Structure 1
Amino acid sequence: MKAGADMKIAGKIVCVFVLLTITKVTRTVGNNRVSATVGNSSVLTCPPKSNITMVTWKISPKVGGPCALGYRADKNKTDRTNCSDSMNWKFRPDRDPALEIRRVGIAHEGSYTCEVAGTEGNFDETYDLTVLVPPRLTLYCDDHGNPVCEAAAGKPAAQISWVLENNSTPKEEGHDNGTVTVLSKFTAYSTNVTNTTCIVSHPAGNQSRSIACHPSKNNGFILYLSIILCFLGIITLMAVIYYFKLHRLFYKTKPPETAPTHSPQDDTMEVEPYTTYVQKENVIYNSVSDLTVGQNLPQGLSPAT
């Protein structure tokens, strides 16, 4: 019985020793979430270990193919596969295998894993890199005198708030590169508000700006004038339509013009003056002829009648 109990104790000790050895030789650390602002530099570290024999950075960006950086201590040699010049060792990899990303861009967003092999065992560290893009803040007054705050092309989407209470609802517009533009129009409960402040909250930094807008006094007059012009336009259009309809109706009801009649009496009246003229001419001609004949006859003869 005692020997059996001793064997069980010895077995438990061996199991605990093996588990401790495995934990010491191989240890996996969970993913670390890190962020970097676009345009800045970011440094990712590896587990600090002595007597390193090999270090490998495996990079899997969200956009584009994977790449890798490697170092072998036995050959004192580094190599890279499909990695851009913006990613390189921060220091000498045999002393500090940290990775530096210069001029961080949206394309650098993704997963970064450092694998270290040494005399103490194998270790790895994984980072999930998120790139932050600060939005461009614009504050202006619209045509109606209302303040408008715009946080353009931010990543992630910015949060807009106003110092004074209002009932505005922000609108978001996404872009192909993953950035978001947020637009908020200030609508105050009181019409006496002229000066207000827009606050933009973002992980890359907060911004604020103030503006004084004066409500347009001509809005009522412009609306009134627009209504009058619209009413006059409708009346003019109706008058033109009525005129053309009346004109068309007049020509449809007008009796057709008849050709003038030509009577024989008119022809007789037109011919009679000519006939009288001819008769008078004949009488004159006969008288002249008789006179001429009488003058040419011998003495004692008279023209025959």
Structure 2
Amino acid sequence: MKKGADMKIAGKAACIFVLLTITKLTRITGNRMAAQAGHSAVMACSHRTRATMVTWKISPKIGGPCTLVFRADQEKVYRTNCSDSVKSEFKPEQFYALEIQQVGMADEGNYSCELVNQEGNFYQMYQLTVLVPPRLSLYCDNHSIPVCEAAAGRPAAEILWVPENSSTTEIDSHDNGTVTVLSRFTAHSTNRKTVTCKVYHATLNETMSTDCSSSQSDLILYITIALGFLIIITFMAVIYYFKLHGCRLCHKTKPPDTSLTHSLEDDTTEVEPYTTYVQKENTIYNSVSDLTGGQNLP
């Protein structure tokens, strides 16, 4: 019995020793990492050197897994299902770092590295989050209400107003994981004409100001109405001017038609020689008749 008990104690001690050894030789650390879209992300594997083998495993949220294996004895890197944007030179002075160039939404996911050397196995894990800076705008709506918008950002931006007063916020989530935040400044009791919108995001902190006071909007409205009336009056005056001068031209006395007079004069001129000729013929005829008649008398 005593022998059996001693054997059990020895077995437990051996198990504890093995577990302690494994714990000592195997160290797992995890980090959360954020990278801005369009920039590069660099993740170090381990500060240990003289690695005999280094393995990077990538499990993105979109797409299949990727594996890169470096073997020091062969000085060669084996890639499996990895895009060209995933690069690593596996240099000890760079801690066998992995670089993701031009980070995009598809690169978000889990990254794990295993380094093997004479001291044991060492693990490093990263959870990569991609940040997208929002597009900012501040404007006045049709009711002269200031509107501050942070569009297509990731994560959602936070919007605050100065002076601090009541506001309404609308949040719209998009299919690509980005979020648009729209805030309206609804306070009308403030005496300040200029309001300030402050946008807080992991990639930026911006402050924008605008003046949507009613006096300014009324002035613009009055100027627009005045210009409209001026254009209408000018247009009517031009129409009246052309209409008036057109009627005057229509009522002017037409010049006499001399073509008929010239025609009559020409006809008279053409007829007069013929009349003179006929008269002469008649005179000669009468003279001859008188002579003939005188000779025939007894």
User: How far, CA to CA, are the matches of 1:57 and 1:191 in structure 2?
Assistant: 58
User: How far, CA to CA, are the matches of 2:60 and 2:21 in structure 1?
Assistant: 34
Name the structure 2 match of 1:61.
60
Give the SS at the match of 1:24. helix
Give the SS at the match of 2:52. strand
User: How far, CA to CA, are the matches of 2:89 and 2:139 in structure 1?
Assistant: 44
TM-score normalized by the length of structure 1: 0.64
Identity across aligned pairs (percent)? 59
Give the SS at the match of 1:193. coil
Deviation, structure 1 residue 210:
0.8
Segment drifting more, 189-198 vs 123-132: 189-198
User: How far, CA to CA, are the matches of 1:98 and 1:169 in structure 2?
Assistant: 46
Q: Are residues 94 and 192 of structure 1, via their aligned partners in 2, closer, same or farther at CA, if it must alter by over 3 Å?
A: closer
Give the SS at the match of 1:70. strand
Deviation, structure 1 residue 178:
0.5
Name the structure 2 match of 1:125.
124
> What is the aligned residue count?
220
User: How far, CA to CA, are the matches of 1:57 and 1:9 in structure 2?
Assistant: 40
- Residue identity matched to 1:18: V
Segment drifting more, 53-62 vs 41-50: 41-50
Deviations 1:152-174 (A, max 9, x none): 00001111110112221210111
User: How far, CA to CA, are the matches of 2:102 and 2:24 in structure 1?
Assistant: 37
Residue 24 (str. 1) matches residue 27 (str. 2) = no
Q: Are residues 175 and 11 of structure 1, via their aligned partners in 2, closer, same or farther at CA, if it must alter by over 3 Å?
A: closer
Which of 1 and 2 has greater Rg? 1
Name the structure 1 match of 2:165.
166
- Residue identity matched to 1:25: L
Give the SS at the match of 2:23. helix
Deviation, structure 1 residue 95:
6.3
Name the structure 1 match of 2:72.
73
CA contact (8 A) 1:167 1:189 kept: no
Unaligned runs of at least 5 residues, structure 1 = 222-305
1:148-187 alignment to 2 at 5 Å? 148-187=147-186
- Residue identity matched to 2:24: K
Deviation, structure 1 residue 70:
1.2
RMSD of Structure 2 on Structure 1 (CA): 2.9
- Residue identity matched to 1:21: T
- Greater fraction of residues in helix: 2
Deviations 1:212-264 (A, max 9, x none): 1122449xx9xxxxxxxxxxxxxxxxxxxxxxxxxxxxxxxxxxxxxxxxxxx
Name the structure 1 match of 2:275.
none
Q: Are residues 151 and 76 of structure 1, via their aligned partners in 2, closer, same or farther at CA, if it must alter by over 3 Å?
A: same
Name the structure 2 match of 1:249.
none
